[in-house]
Amino acid sequence: MEVLRKNGRGGCVADGTPRPQPWGLAIVCGLLFLFGCGVIYAESTTTKEPIIEHLEFLGFECDRVEAGLRAKHLSKIHLYFTNAFGGIRVQTGFPGKSPHLDVGSRYVVTNALGKQLSVMQLYWSEEGNLFAMAWMPGRYDKERFALFMEAWDHDAGVLRQAYGQLQPFLKEQSKGSAPAS
């Protein structure tokens, strides 16, 4: 015959191990509920995506368009961000002149520029427009995105310095301004 012993807190056991008390489970559930509410509350206070906050910190004004994010800046090239191939793609463009005018020189200039660029790639559309594009693998990460944007800004500076070489192939900018970095 098995002897039941009292464990001193009201829980009876047959083999001597204490039986869990309902109030202990209630405390654990209550703490999990409070912790869960805190996380939900903390997340709900942030209304902007981290990449938008980052771009706004850099001075860009952002808005959602089509399948991406447009970022405008007073003194830098306007950018368009999209998710592509498991990463973040940034691109911009400049209206060009007819692609049939001096095609060889057009490519000589962009190929020479390509050797100086770290993340930016340049290409001409069939219509003669110049496009710049870069891709960062993976999702947004504050430190990686900051380094990526620094590299983009460096490349935009190279592009700006080469405006004199690109000017014969591009339509005039508004107010006679060169592409900003």
Output the CA–CA distances (angstroms, integers) from residue 9 to 12, 16, 27, 120, 144, in the order listed: 9, 13, 16, 71, 56
Q: Where are the domains of the chain?
A: 5-45, 50-171
- Pairing assessment for the beta strands 87-94 and 121-124 based on DSSP bridges: unpaired
Position with higher pLDDT, 36 vs 148: 148
Per-residue pLDDT of 19-75, as tens digits, reads 555 555 455 444 444 444 443 334 434 578 999 999 999 999 999 998 899 999 999
CATH 3.30.1460.10 given to domain 50-171: yes
Per-residue pLDDT of 74-125, as tens digits, reads 999 899 999 999 999 999 999 998 877 777 888 999 999 999 999 999 999 9
pLDDT of residue 67: 84
Distance CA 110, CA 5 (A): 87
Q: What is the pTM of this model?
A: 0.67
Q: What is the distance of C-alpha 29 from the center of its chain? A: 37
